[in-house]
Chain A
């Protein structure tokens, strides 16, 4: 009878344990990261009584959690990928929205500016039209500046986020290391798995993988080692490393990432992938930096072509035009660890050859070498002296100071151009709408030859506006005043002198003459305004293949495509991440119906065993009555 009682008591205890587990499962049905636990029933060792092995009840030998490491790994990498693309898409959408308003966007502002130039061409004497053009120019500059400052503020937000991410990752690493310690000692003391601690650790690793892609390996004492980047250890046993936001060696305001441990500090910016951090970093290099450089490059090109043409014109006061826009110069930054004093003066020499890249100049034993920000090599000519500057991608570089081997300089050709950009013309009369010269036949010419109105080739030629006469010495030869050479006349051919160019067509008679003279009374002339208005559709960018207006289209299209792609990827990754999460939940999640059934099952078993005790008791009583009366 004692065995019956003992067996029953073992059952009672086992099912009590099972009910505990069920109740724990039900209680944690909504706890994130909780893995359902399962009591592991085993039969007790049988006893050899009376020539037979007699069972002696049941035990809960272990409480296991339902957990699949493979599914967990899948879910983590999916979460990592989803968070990367989602962060990228969220940030990209901000740029996309920035350029989203097609009625006030860059393209519209540019066209309004062109229209205002056309209005000046319509009425070159109208101060109102000129004033409008200056306002539109200012609006265009403001528009460019507002894009630039929005992109700058996005940049500083990215920098701030990188710092926050670094702190979060460090604190997660500390938590994981602490749990590693507790888990190892839990195992060591009991030989049993501390399930809830394991869940907590897994949850921290899950969270870590939403910030950055991680690799996890298990040690013999059930601790988990966590690696990020190219295998830089973040947690080794109970030792956490710190992830810190460091300053870029060229630009202290730009944040990079490094792992700080007892071994030292290792920069991991280039090897970070996945998670919100990976998303931020790839957004910065793939979209933000190029966008800033593009806006800068377009502003440089706008200023360059406008200034060149405006200088070739004549304003309402009869003076030659000046520069119309000013833009900021090229930023040059020395590496923080440079040991020499080398600096560089960089000027833009060819707008068409400029690229969206930044450049790193490095002093090697064999002299200066250059590579673009994306790592590709660029071809550089020259020796870097003032007489023979380095020439690379439309830049002219003059090195100053002395450099030691290993010193390097960063060159940012366009990103600093926009914020100091200005309209230099304030007085509407100073808009150079007219051409400085006018060419015309002399009254009394007998031939029917005509002369083109003339264009300016070199506005700085001192003789440009000095009156010159082209006299036909015969029907086929001519002379230009001040030049004894007799030229042969070819109808329609360019005649260049004093910095101007004209064309004569038709049949001149001997003695006919044409004058090219100063146009200072020609305030109604609009030739230069028409040329200015045409500049936006002139191919001036990308080595003379792309106009400013199509560059704007390309840029906005590029932003749209990248954003759209990121959004599509994020949506797809979301599905993948949810599926992986679902697969894990299918294994580890609590099903309340299942638990209710278990509850019933265990409760019934418990009640049945209670009956057994009563049976044992009544058996015992009947024996007592039979023997003792």
Chain B
């Protein structure tokens, strides 16, 4: 084949240019440490890289969210620790107050004073704020103090029942708090089925115990009243208007009165017209429970009628305290479960982060060993092309025309 001198030069130059541009590209890759720097370099890898980087950024945000959730739940847990301490002191005080035989009115009043102080402490815990001044237990209304009242007036919940959820992974959310209603208010009364009570205007000295459930399926939820039609006879009426008589019976002190699957025991000497209540269980705020005890202890006692009321009510209050403690434990367990969930999501996210990082590195980062080897190869090629070109282009017949 004929070779034209110009064609030879152009071919050689073009080949060297190709080598040089390949070298320039390699050099750029080595300088950046990246194999792919624009979508055109490797479209599929680039899209993948973008998605991985997005996932990394998302994962960083989820990590922040979960740290925040953990902090808030830890604050809540601390509040439960403090609540438990107060609760055990309150329980001790109520047990102490139940010693009707030895305590005078003054003794009871001083117990009531300390109970009132504990009540304030509990309210302060329930109204706790986080570092940003947001209330822990007010649901969504984090700028509203959840428990208003106190100092003698009833403490009521004014927050809402929302629970803020934080996104801790693309599929999982965790609530970062409990609202005050579910923690401090929604405590079942009595044994959770029914609750007993004594009418404060009773004139006899009858006392009612906390009762028990003997046959759960037979229980018909309603508010029942046990009325003494004479000191030795009672009738049980339901809450309908007009009331229906559920059962009548002869009273024997200490004998169980069983109706509709529950059993209560009345002791002492009730007077005609005295009433006792067996109410279906509702919820009762812990503040109301303690507040009622404070009010009760501030009332004078001493005679058998007053002592009977005091004993009956304190029995109920003690049971209510135990219910509340159980309830707090339950909520605290939920916090524990949430924290455990966050931990497990965290650890799987950390594993995924490592995976993301290594996949990203595989896709994007340059294999230096390979790149340098390739560059050396390319360099050798270019040098050979340059050397051969200068040698061959020096060859000319004109050199020999002398």
Contact = CB atoms under 8 A, between A and B. Distances in A.
Interface in A543-581: 549, 552-554, 556-561, 563-564, 567, 578, 581
Contacts of A115: 57-58, 60-61
Interface in B125-146: 132, 134, 138-144
Interface in B2-51: 2-7, 10-11, 14, 37-44, 46-47, 49-51
A156 B256 CA distance: 98
B241 interface: no
Contacts of B11: 578, 582
A30 B58 contact: no
A303 interface: no
- Chief secondary structure at chain A's binding surface: helix
The residue among B138, B162, B283 with the most chain A CB atoms within 10 A of its own CB is: B162
B322 interface: no
A111 B40 CA distance: 23
Contact of B10 (A100, A434, A523, A585): A585
B282 A590 contact: no
A102 B65 contact: no
A108 interface: yes
A92 B7 contact: no
Contacts of A119: 61, 64
B144 A521 contact: yes
B3 A586 contact: yes
Interface string B187-200: 00000000000000
A625 interface: no
Interface stretch (A226-234, A327-335, A439-447): A439-447
A453 B142 contact: no
A92 B40 contact: yes
B4 A588 contact: yes
Given A102-B50, A102-B53, A596-B397, A526 B164 contact: yes
A590 B10 CA distance: 13
A589 B4 contact: yes
A561 B3 contact: no
A596 B7 contact: no
Contacts of B6: 29-30, 32, 585, 589-590
Interface stretch (A122-130, A241-249, A402-410, A494-502): A122-130
B364 to A, nearest CB: 8
Contacts of B142: 124-125, 523-524
Contacts of B58: 111, 114-115
A533 B39 contact: no
A36 to B, nearest CB: 8
Contacts of A443: 157, 181, 185-186, 283
Nearest to A116: B61
B401 A107 contact: no
Contacts of A121: 65, 166-167
Interface in B52-96: 53-54, 57-58, 60-62, 64-65, 68
Interface string A263-276: 00000000000000
Contacts, number: 211
Interface string A102-138: 1101011011101100110111111000000000000
Contacts of A29: 5-6
B173 interface: yes
Contact of B39 (A96, A522, A537): A96
A530 B173 contact: yes
The residue among A32, A526, A552 with the most chain B CB atoms within 10 A of its own CB is: A526
Given A114-B58, A585-B7, A522 B140 contact: yes
Contact of B7 (A446, A527, A586): A586
A100 B37 contact: yes
Interface residues of B, number: 64
B248 interface: no
Nearest to B3: A591
A593 to B, nearest CB: 5
Given A114-B58, A524-B134, A600-B401, A123 B68 contact: yes
Contacts of B1: 586
B249 interface: no
A519 interface: yes
Contacts of B396: 592-593, 596
Contacts of B181: 440, 443
Nearest to B54: A111
A115 to B, nearest CB: 4
Nearest to B165: A530
Contact of A107 (B51, B140, B164): B51
A560 B45 CA distance: 10
B336 interface: no
Interface string B158-177: 00111111110010010000
A112 B38 CA distance: 21
Interface string B282-293: 110000000000
A319 to B, nearest CB: 16
Contacts of B47: 553-554, 556-557, 560
A438 B161 contact: yes
A597 B186 CA distance: 112
B275 interface: no
Contacts of A111: 54, 57-58
B164 A105 contact: no
A268 to B, nearest CB: 30
A93 interface: yes
B50 A519 contact: no
Contacts of A523: 140-143
Interface in A498-539: 509, 519, 521-527, 530, 533, 537
B131 to A, nearest CB: 11
B221 interface: yes
Nearest to A521: B141
B10 to A, nearest CB: 7
B165 to A, nearest CB: 7
B313 interface: no
Nearest to A93: B40
Contacts of A99: 38-39
Given A522-B139, A557-B46, A126 B173 contact: no
A411 interface: no
B280 interface: yes
Contact of B162 (A97, A525, A593): A525
Given A115-B60, A564-B40, 7 more contacts: A29-B5, A523-B141, A524-B141, A526-B166, A556-B39, A560-B40, A586-B4
15 contacts: A119-B61, A122-B65, A440-B160, A446-B282, A521-B141, A525-B162, A557-B44, A559-B40, A560-B46, A560-B47, A563-B38, A586-B4, A588-B4, A592-B398, A600-B401
Interface of B: 1-7, 10-11, 14, 37-44, 46-47, 49-51, 53-54, 57-58, 60-62, 64-65, 68, 132, 134, 138-144, 157, 160-167, 170, 173, 181, 185-186, 221, 280, 282-283, 396-398, 401
Interface of A: 29-30, 32, 36, 92-93, 96-97, 99-100, 102-103, 105, 107-108, 110-112, 114-115, 118-119, 121-126, 434, 438, 440-441, 443-444, 446, 453, 509, 519, 521-527, 530, 533, 537, 549, 552-554, 556-561, 563-564, 567, 578, 581-582, 585-594, 596-597, 599-600
